[in-house]
């Protein structure tokens, strides 16, 4: 552990998880800010998921807080904490809200006059309440599930990645395979690509190929 790196990391202004992961790196760094912790090790020390670690490491690298050397001569990636070159984005404050065209400081709050009109409450039967709501069909549930998998789970690909064939393959696969199985396999695939810096490249398989070849089992 580098006291210099830890002190520097503590002084950085950033959100909670970002800072926790930066501190985890500093905890493994030498006096030059170099470290080789695995994704699993960082996740364990930071008490967050592997996906969160991968996303935040990419953010820290883009922001200049660290430099990543894939492999770095070891099984894990090598990280160099940039204790001099990082630029911290200024904290943005929300613009004051307008109150009917007036600045809040000049707006005068007027309490609404109490209403004196009274109405008898309408008592609806349980059947009337339930009759207005229709339960989504199984097909609709699977389509919504696919949309979440497509947007949040499957790694982005550079190049062709047809969505409709992937949707059909996903729904077909779900007839015999659980959601948890497919999603867990997708996360393993995402992590494998992330370790090799291949997310958002042509090396990512088309989603329909991933599904048709049942790669979630690998």
- Rounded average pLDDT over 5-16: 86
In this prediction, residue 53 carries a pLDDT of 87
Kindly give the pairing relationship between strand 34-35 and strand 66-69.
unpaired
pLDDT tens digit sequence for 36-52? 888 888 888 888 888 88
Is 3-81 in CATH node 1.10.10.10? yes
In this prediction, residue 170 carries a pLDDT of 95
Highest mean pLDDT among 128-132, 194-198, 209-213: 209-213
- Cα separation, 101 vs 124, in Å, equals 41
Q: Compare 71 and 121 and report the one with higher pLDDT.
A: 71
What is the band of 144 on the pLDDT scale with cuts at 50, 70, 90? confident
For residues 100-124, one letter each, b for 16 or more C-beta atoms within 10 angstroms of the residue's C-beta and e for the rest, the string is eeeeeeeeeeeeeeeeeeeeeeeee
Dihedral angle of Cα 17, 22, 27, 32, to the nearest 10 degrees = 180
| Whether 31 contacts 4, CB under 8 Å | yes
Strand partners, 69: 78
200 torsion bin: left (phi>0), alpha (psi -120 to 50), beta (else): left
Dihedral angle of Cα 12, 17, 21, 27, to the nearest 10 degrees = 70
In this prediction, residue 129 carries a pLDDT of 41
What is the band of 90 on the pLDDT scale with cuts at 50, 70, 90? very low
pTM: 0.45
Residue 25 CB partners (closer than 8 Å, separation 6+): 5, 9, 35, 37, 42, 66, 79, 81
Give me 84's structure tokens: 């001099």
What share of the chain in percent tops pLDDT 70? 73
Query: What are the residue boundaries of the structural domains of the chain, listed by start?
Result: 3-81, 138-217
């Amino acid at each position: 552990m580098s006291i210099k790196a830890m002190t520097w990391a503590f002084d950085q202004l950033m959100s909670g998880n970002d800072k926790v992961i930066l501190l985890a790196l500093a905890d493994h760094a030498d006096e030059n800010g170099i470290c080789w912790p695995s994704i699993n090790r960082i996740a364990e020390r930071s008490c967050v998921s592997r996906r969160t670690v991968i996303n935040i490491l990419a953010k820290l690298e883009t922001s200049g807080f660290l430099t990543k050397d894939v492999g770095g001569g070891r099984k894990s990636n090598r990280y160099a904490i940039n204790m001099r070159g990082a630029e911290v984005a200024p904290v943005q404050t929300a613009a004051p809200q307008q109150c009917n065209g007036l600045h809040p400081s000049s707006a005068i709050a007027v309490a609404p006059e109490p209403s004196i009109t009274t109405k008898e409450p309408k008592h609806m039967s349980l059947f009337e309440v339930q009759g207005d709501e229709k339960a989504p069909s199984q097909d609709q549930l699977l389509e919504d599930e696919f949309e979440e998998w497509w947007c949040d789970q499957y790694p982005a690909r550079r190049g062709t990645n047809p969505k409709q064939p992937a949707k059909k393959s996903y729904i077909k696969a779900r007839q015999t395979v659980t959601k948890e199985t497919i999603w867990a396999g997708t996360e393993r695939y995402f992590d494998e690509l992330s370790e090799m810096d291949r997310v958002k490249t042509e090396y990512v398989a088309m989603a329909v190929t991933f599904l048709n070849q049942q790669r979630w089992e690998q």
